[in-house]
Amino acid sequence: MDLPLDSASGDLVLCNLGSGSRGNATYVGRGGRGLLVDAGLTVRQIRLRLAARGIPDGAVQGILLTHEHGDHVHAARRLADRWGLPVYATAGTAAGAGIRDLPTLREIRAGEPFTAAGLTVEPVSIPHDTQDPVAYVVGDGRDRAAVATDIGEPTGLLVEKLAACALVMLEFNHDPVMLAEGPYPAFVKRRVRGPLGHLSNPQALEVLEGLGPTLRRVLLAHLSQHNNRPALALSEARTRMLALGREDVALGVLGQYEASPVYRVADGEVHEPGRT
């Protein structure tokens, strides 16, 4: 079912393999080859979840790192060694992740697009408490998808870049009340809600408000297991999109423990397998 989507079509595809503080990885590809945005799950889970969606190991031709936190880089070195993959990272991320000695490291700079696995990749600078974190906009020359998580606060640059994408994976980390009343120690609460922490649901809605007609689908990502609920984040997003007259925008929540469907972006529309 999923296999033909990736192997036989020349459309841009995106499949999240897991999203949240216990590990992140997302496959973005076209025509049977592509890239992993982050490798924060175990090698075993990455392989199992790719296989579950009909994506062969060999399709992965490189790793794009967003930042050096363990839930994003956990398996990067092992995967790069085992599969001989280039790892694309800013100098700060490479230093923070301890992979500057990796022979396949390709140093990138925020704001400077490059080509990898036949895709155009634009790293977009974001605020987060690491050395040089980025979000990624990935395109095939026709359509674009974005992976944007671990963001301290909305920025004009991020909104501008996401506005060019039909498919946006965006952090909805926490509900401010749940965070305030939740189990985290005070210093962690301050960090999470601070300008270098994570996007709250209201902040993510603020980002969505800035996006225009190109947007077709939003995948709510990196939800906190303690300080958010999928149904809450989804209903807030749905309410806001309705208020904006954008009930045409499809919404979905990404989980920590299983791969998402393989979304296909073609001619400005986003398709889910089994649906048109």
Q: How far is the CB of 243 from Zn ion (least distance, A)?
A: 29
| 69 in contact with Zn ion (CB under 5 A) | yes
Q: Within 13 A of 120's CA, how many CA atoms are on the CB side?
A: 11
**Which of 132, 150, 153, 175 forms a contact with Zn ion (CB under 5 A)?**
150
Judged by CB under 5 A, which of 71, 122, 143, 153 binds Zn ion? 71
User: By CB under 5 A, is residue 171 in contact with Zn ion?
Assistant: no
Residue with Cβ nearer Zn ion (69 or 240): 69
Q: Judged by CB, which is closer to Zn ion: 71, or 132?
A: 71
Under the binding rule (CB under 5 A), the answer on residue 6 touching Zn ion is no
**30 vs 222, beta carbon nearer Zn ion:** 222
Tokens read off for 25: 């990885």
Least Å from the CB of residue 32 to Zn ion: 29
**Cα–Cα distance, 262 to 50 (Å, whole number):** 10
The region of 5-13, 65-73, 87-95, 234-242 touching Zn ion under the rule CB under 5 A is 65-73
CB atoms within 10 A of CB 183: 9
Q: How many CB atoms lie within 10 A of CB 141?
A: 10
Applying CB under 5 A, which part among 61-69, 151-159, 169-177, 256-264 lies near Zn ion?
61-69
Pick between residue 18 and residue 31 the one whose CB is nearest to Zn ion: 18
From residue 94 to residue 133, what is the string marking binding to Zn ion with x (rule CB under 5 A)? ----------------------------------------
Closer by beta carbon to Zn ion, 71 or else 122:
71
Closer to Zn ion by Cβ: residue 132 or 150: 150
What is the closest distance, in whole angstroms, from the C-beta atom of residue 22 to Zn ion in the complex? Answer: 9
Give 22 or 106: the residue with its C-beta nearer to Zn ion.
22
Compute how many residues bind Zn ion; rule: CB under 5 A.
Answer: 3
Residue 158 CB, shortest distance to Zn ion, in Å, is 15
Closest CA to 45 of 64, 23, 13: 23
Footprint on this chain of Zn ion (rule: CB under 5 A): 69, 71, 150
